[in-house]
Amino acid sequence: MKQLLIVVLGLFSISSFSQIKILNFNSDKLQEKREIVISLPASYEKNPTKRYPLMILLDGDYLLNPFLGTVTYGAYWDDLPEVIIVAISQNKQNERATDCGLDEVTGMPDGKSVDFFDFIGLELVPFIQHDYRTTNFKIIAGHDTTAAFLNFYLYKGDPLFNAYISMSPELPVNMENELPNILSSIKQPIYYYLSTADGDVKNMQERIKKLDNSIREIKNPDLNYKFEYFKETSHFSLVLHSIPSALYQIFGVAQPISTLEYDEKIVTLKEGYVDYLTKKYDVIENSFGVKTPIRINDFKAIEAAILYNKDYNDLDALAILADKNYPKSMLGDYELATMFEYKGDNPRAVRYYMSGFNKEEIADLTKDMMFAKAEELKKTYAKKPKIKGKVGQVETKEEVIEETPATDTPVTEEKKQ
* Cβ-based neighbour number of residue 335 at 10 Å: 26
The stretches in the chain having pLDDT less than 50 are 1-16, 389-417
The number of angstroms, rounded, from the C-alpha of 271 to the middle of its chain's C-alpha atoms is 25
Sign, CA torsion 10/13/17/18: positive
Amino acid at 371: F
* pLDDT tens digit sequence for 326-382: 999 999 999 999 999 999 999 999 999 999 999 999 999 999 999 999 999 999 886
The edge-to-edge listing of strands for the beta sheet with 163-167 is: 19-27, 32-40, 84-88, 52-57, 134-143, 163-167, 190-199, 223-234
pLDDT at site 10: 45
pLDDT at site 91: 83
Fold (topology level) of 259-415: 1.25.40
CA 194 vs CA 205, 215, 331, 382: distances in Å: 11, 10, 43, 66
Distance between CA 87 and CA 140 in Å, rounded? 10
Each domain of the chain, given as residue ranges in start order, spans 2-254, 259-415
pTM of the model: 0.83
Distance between CA 34 and CA 112 in Å, rounded? 14
* CATH code of the domain occupying 2-254: 3.40.50.1820
* pLDDT tens digit sequence for 168-179: 999 999 999 999
pLDDT at site 142: 98
Distance between CA 202 and CA 143 in Å, rounded? 17
Distance between CA 21 and CA 39 in Å, rounded? 6
* Cβ-based neighbour number of residue 372 at 10 Å: 12
pLDDT at site 377: 94
pLDDT at site 389: 47
